[in-house]
Amino acid sequence: MSTLDPPFSDHLQEDELTPDQNGDFISSLPTAGFLSQYRGFWITTRSMQGVLSLQKHFQAQETDIQMMTPPKVGTTWLKAILFAIVNRKHNLDLQKHPLLTNNPHILVPYLDLHFYNQKEVPDLTFFPSPRLFSAHLPYTLLPTSVKHSTCKIVHLYRNPKDTFVSLWHFLKNNGRTTDSFEGTFDEFCQGVSSFGPYWDHVLNYWKESLEKPQKILCLRYEELKEQPSTHLKKIAEFLECPFSSEEETKGMINDILRLCSFDYLNKLEVNKSGTTHNMKTESLFRLGEVGDWVNYLTPQMSKKLDDIFKEKFHGTGLTCYILFACLYYCQYLC
């Protein structure tokens, strides 16, 4: 890890930077491998330009839907689900559904990597409402207009052990690390992971969702796996487009779940090869199961994560969810 003194921080705020100064500002940030430390979070350096620009320029609309997730918690899956729910009336013929020919990351683009990574400010006003966007941004780094408008935010989290194991495979498969499994684990435990510390990402949205349940919905990967139809209905209600009884009778919820399932998406040609946002598409669909961490983490590593998350989530109401998922699946698999 190399640490540099940010030369700008003493005299210039980020929102005062001209586009030409962004690069100097970014290279002045402390770094760890491919990450840059920015306002308490480890942001992938390739996202930094987009993060700065979208913080400064993005104007939320009241009807926007923002998907904000830490990496490796099931973002791709949730993108498919949200897209299918929100656009279901235009895609009644499932044989022609856009998900059959587009990776979910194309249908629900990353704001920072897709739109705001250029020097010019993009014009997103032409997008039909409701606009469906995503980013991995922690709550504290959201553009002010997102926090203050009535737009909806959907957040997803996952038990930290599976999140870490998924992250490890992703980094390896995409050539983003030469570190050992143990070294990457130690960094994760120190909070040094993409858009981490992971616990702060989860905790910040969780706390905000308790205060603003109409604005922020926090979902858990394991819950989505356990009770998918219940959660699909919950998501649709939160987004103010609930399934009608006619839609339910016609089996639309099950249709969407099947379309977005790991087994279905994973086998589509569009998700088997190529790249999206510089990620190997196939690396987004690895196993899609709960509890795979038992095959990778030693009992000591598992305990270390338990201890960290017990401490970080103490008194928040979140500990029991996280630990429940870990313990339940450990017993289940043993």
- Told to check if 162 binds ligand A3P by CB under 6 A, we report yes
196 binds ligand A3P (CB under 6 A): no
Least distance in angstroms from the C-beta of 9 to ligand A3P: 31
DSSP run (H or E) holding 254? helix 252-260
User: Is residue 76 a contact point for ligand A3P (CB under 6 A)?
Assistant: yes
Q: Does 75 bind ligand A3P (CB under 6 A)?
A: yes
**CA–CA distance, 156 with 281 (Å, rounded to integer):** 20
Provide the phi-psi class of 33: left if phi over 0, else alpha when psi is between -120 and 50, else beta: left
Q: At what angle do helices 19-27 and 45-57 cross, to 10 degrees?
A: 140
Q: Which of 68, 265 has the CB closer to ligand A3P?
A: 265
Q: Is residue 136 annotated as a catalytic residue, yes or no?
A: yes
User: Which of these is catalytic: 97, 136, 201, 231?
Assistant: 136
The DSSP string of 295-316 is: GT--HHHHHHHHHHHHHHTTTT
Q: Using the rule CB under 6 A, give the single segment among 19-27, 41-49, 162-170, 235-243 that binds ligand A3P.
A: 162-170
Q: Cβ 260 to ligand A3P, closest distance in Å?
A: 6
**What number of chain residues touch ligand A3P (CB under 6 A)?**
20
Query: Is the distance from CB of 68 to CB of 232 less than 8 angstroms?
Result: no
Least spacing, CB of residue 264 vs ligand A3P, in Å: 8
Q: Residue 187, interface with ligand A3P (CB under 6 A)?
A: no
**252, 253, 284, 305: which one binds ligand A3P (CB under 6 A):** 284
Q: For the packed helices 198-211 and 299-312, what is the interaxial angle rounded to 10 degrees?
A: 40
Task: Pick between residue 55 and residue 76 the one whose CB is nearest to ligand A3P.
Answer: 76
Q: How many CB atoms lie within 10 A of CB 10?
A: 7
| DSSP line for 40-91 | TEEEEHHHHHHHHHHHHH----TT-EEEE--TTSSHHHHHHHHHHHHTGGG-
Chain-centre distance of CA 135, in angstroms?
6
Q: Does 222 bind ligand A3P (CB under 6 A)?
A: no
Give residues 223-282 in contact with ligand A3P (rule: CB under 6 A): 260-262, 265
Whole-angstrom distance, CA of residue 44 vs CA of residue 96: 35
Of 56-64, 74-82, 243-251, 318-326, the window that binds ligand A3P (rule: CB under 6 A) is 74-82
Name the amino acid, one letter, at 332: Y
288 binds ligand A3P (CB under 6 A): yes
Q: Give the Å distances, CA to CA, from 264 to 189, 260, 294.
A: 34, 7, 25
| Least distance (Å) between residue 72 CB and ligand A3P | 4
- 77 near ligand A3P, judged by CB under 6 A: yes
Q: Which of 287, 320, 327, 333 binds ligand A3P (CB under 6 A)?
A: 287
Shortest Cβ 59–ligand A3P spacing (Å): 26
φ, ψ for residue 143 (rounded to 5)? -60, 145
**Does the protein bind ligand A3P through residue 329 (CB under 6 A)?**
no
Residues annotated as catalytic are 136
Judged by the rule CB under 6 A, the positions of this chain that interact with ligand A3P are: 71-77, 162, 166, 169, 260-262, 265, 284-288, 292
